[in-house]
Structure 1
Amino acid sequence: MSVSHRQQVFAASQAVVVKIGTNALSRPDDTLDVDRIHRLAEQLWAIRATGRRVVVVSSGAVGAGIGLLKLKGRPRDLPHVQAAAAAGQARLIRAYDEALQVHGVHAAQILLTANDFKHRTRYLNVRNTLHTLFEYPVIPIVNENDTVSISEIKFGDNDRLAAMVASLIEKPLLIILSVVDGLLDGDPSDPAARPLRLVENLKAVESLAGSSKSSRGTGGMKSKLESVRMATHTGTNVIIADGRMDGVLDRVTAGEELGTLFLSRKESVPAWKRWIGYTVTPRGALRLDEGAVRAVVEKGRSLLAIGVTGVDGDFSKGELVSLFDPSGHEFARGLSNFDARTAASIAGKRTEQVIEALGAGAYQEVIHRDNLTVMG
């Protein structure tokens, strides 16, 4: 892996999404490290000065609240977590705004829940807001709205949120700043473990991620790799690096071999298909035979009823469903032209049989190719 290769990755990007983890922004006593925010703000401004769009997905609200409210640690119950987030978010966004003002730009706060991505209209509103903000001398600072989030509408962690934000923007580079120098080739507790500098096949290294979570945040390397998978499958290159390093963003964008670079598996996927494949939660599932899998994956065709061997869940017409191959692997997602009961009634039938059963005006495809995303 040459330095010039990393430079090419940055050169090909039109935007940079930087996710900054809680631990990368916190002092040992859990208070917010304002000095580090100022150093990162200078580097963010430098990226923006290249003409690229810049978005920050920043953790740290709960951590800032822990210090602000003088709590002994991260609260275990939801009301106190939300209270810490409410107090800490104000402190966090003020720190970003003050740091960015030094460089003639402001912070624009965007607080989101998972529902903002699940519903198409709200998704488009978020996307339009971001793109409008790019017209002004501001840098959007995105965070999960922890003050109102409950389990049903949470992203899980800001690594996933960062990947979803990257899906809103054309040709982004996603940089995840943590407290580790990328993905290690062994157990993090082993002094001999070394960071992998390049990953081209994510499946080959997924076993290297442990199940541990960070001390102040909610993520870990496993969640980061899940987010990397989401991003790389939609054409986004990802770098995981240590956010505590001096000048980490300057050095990464200059092409230095810091952290781990995960190369995307395909060309950039259109925004509509990114939303289908990686943003909405499926409401049901269709099980397919081998012929249907080949038709969808290799030939780029729509899904016909004859290839459906089973229907799971209770979904309505137009809702998202997962597609599973005979081995039980989810390989695609799409918007169903039929509700679950109708889909089950026509499963395995030829097109002429579908028309005979449902009428001449019925859809000939269970899922049209334009509303289907192969996930790999």
Structure 2
Amino acid sequence: MRIENFDRQSFLSSIKRFVVKVGSAVLSDEKYGINSRRINAIVRQLAELNNRYDFIFVTSGAIAAGKSYLGIRGKISSLKEKQAAAAVGQSKLMQFYEKAFARYGMKVGQILLTHEDLTSRKRYLNAVNTIRTLMNYGVVPIINENDTVSVDEIRFGDNDFLAASLANMIEANLLVLLTDVDGIENRNSKGVSSIVPLVDRFDKSIFTMLDTTTSLLGSGGMTAKVQSAKKAALSGVATLIASGKRRSILLDFFAGKECGTLFLPKIERITRRKHWIGFTMKAKGKIIVDKGAQEALEKKGKSLLATGIKKIEGKFSEGDSVEISSENGEIFARGLVNYSFSELEKIKGKKSPEIKKILGRDNVDEVIHRDNLVIIE
């Protein structure tokens, strides 16, 4: 969708389901505890919207809540301290939400996820079914990363990424990322800043505007939020980045007021399975291809053949996710590979008829079939 074709009222009328994510910088007070008044303000708005929209709630703040309870000051960096704080803080956090939603006769259900839960196709589908079942019962799913067991290999990194994945999983129309700033700021040559209201492309000009710092409590920055918005856009999901400290931010937005920065979605929505391949699975390696192969993949929708492969990086097995890169280092696609890294080292640059002779067995012609390949740039 382009800015020149955007009609706010038509867009708002198309929204049936949304994901709202609230960051630690919004939920936490100056002493690193949980700001119950802010939780109540957000829940009040969601309760008003409940009769018109389906929604799920992604929350940060478990570590911040746990730090307050355990009397920890400052930023903690060790994994064991973060996991201990999360173990204590998550239950405290859910108590706040349960009490806040109960005022409006609403029930909540807790779901804790790791990246590994969504990388496994079976567990991914189980998570989808659980969320949908909760929604069918009128229960608000409150979702957080399972920080008590997460390690680097199975972490999302931040809840912006998790929220973008969930938006695709439940086929939402809108992703709302509530933070402690009003949106993307654009500073002119005189140093005067203004909020960018609409974005329809993810080029370098957007990323140069971003403040890359993180707060004491948050793990992400504006860069992570824009990257998550980009991921959502490819699934046909719009993203609003706005201030969760603004008292009626959600009600104002759904009433048609211009607030925050709204990232418009791509017109063609990719399937949930392709989104899972392109943005949820962790890549185990990289395949560098020549210009001809890159053009065939990007512009002609072809499968990747061995003849176009220049170089292999990493160790991966058949069925793993790999990144596909141009010769100048630009990663432009991801896909599920039909050969292991050791097999590809033998057949890279070779034509299909030669593969059987080299490997001594029949196999598929495609290194990555187009049905298992996603263009991400």
Q: Quick check: 1:104–1:137 contact (8 Å CA) kept in 2?
A: no
164 and 79 in structure 1: CA distance in 2 versus 1, 3 angstrom threshold: same
Partner of 1:43: 45
User: How do 1:260-275 residues align onto structure 2 when only pairs under 5 Å count?
Assistant: 260-275=261-276
1:128, CA displacement in angstroms?
Answer: 1.6
Q: Distance in 2 between matches of 1:103 and 1:297?
A: 50
Equivalent position SS for 2:258? coil
Cα-to-partner distance string for 1:70-119 (whole Å, 9 max, x where unaligned): 33334333222222212211111111111112222211101111111222
Q: Quick check: 1:317–1:336 contact (8 Å CA) kept in 2?
A: yes
Q: Quick check: 1:21–1:60 contact (8 Å CA) kept in 2?
A: yes
Q: Quick check: 1:12–1:171 contact (8 Å CA) kept in 2?
A: no
Partner of 1:246: 247
Q: Distance in 2 between matches of 1:109 and 1:372?
A: 33
Cα-to-partner distance string for 1:307-327 (whole Å, 9 max, x where unaligned): 111111111011111111122
Say whether residues 1:300 and 2:316 are aligned partners: no
Partner of 2:199: 199
Q: Distance in 1 between matches of 2:82 and 2:289?
A: 43
1:244, CA displacement in angstroms?
Answer: 0.6
Cα-to-partner distance string for 1:284-319 (whole Å, 9 max, x where unaligned): 111111111111111111111111111111110111
1:120, CA displacement in angstroms?
Answer: 1.7
Q: Mean Cα displacement is larger for which, 137-146 or 166-175?
A: 166-175
Partner of 1:24: 26
User: Normalized against structure 1, the TM-score is what?
Assistant: 0.94
User: Normalized against structure 2, the TM-score is what?
Assistant: 0.93
Q: Distance in 1 between matches of 2:5 and 2:358?
A: 61
354 and 2 in structure 1: CA distance in 2 versus 1, 3 angstrom threshold: closer
What is the aligned counterpart of 1:15 among 14, 17, 29? 17
7 and 95 in structure 1: CA distance in 2 versus 1, 3 angstrom threshold: farther
1:3, CA displacement in angstroms?
Answer: 12
Alignment gaps of 5+ in structure 1: none
Equivalent position SS for 1:301? coil
Q: Distance in 1 between matches of 2:86 and 2:143?
A: 14
Q: Distance in 2 between matches of 1:243 and 1:298?
A: 40
Alignment gaps of 5+ in structure 2: none
Q: Distance in 2 between matches of 1:333 and 1:260?
A: 28
The number of aligned residues is 373
Equivalent position SS for 2:368? coil
Equivalent position SS for 2:322? strand
Identity of aligned residues (%): 38
Q: Mean Cα displacement is larger for which, 77-86 or 193-202?
A: 77-86
Q: Distance in 1 between matches of 2:172 and 2:13?
A: 11
Q: Distance in 2 between matches of 1:233 and 1:214?
A: 28
79 and 357 in structure 1: CA distance in 2 versus 1, 3 angstrom threshold: closer
Q: Distance in 2 between matches of 1:105 and 1:243?
A: 21
Provide the alpha-carbon RMSD of the alignment: 2.0
One-letter amino acid matched to 1:93: M
Partner of 2:220: 219
Equivalent position SS for 1:152? helix
Q: Mean Cα displacement is larger for which, 2-11 or 352-361?
A: 2-11
1:162, CA displacement in angstroms?
Answer: 1.2
- Which contiguous aligned blocks of 4+ residues in structure 1 show a shift greater than 6 angstroms? 1-4
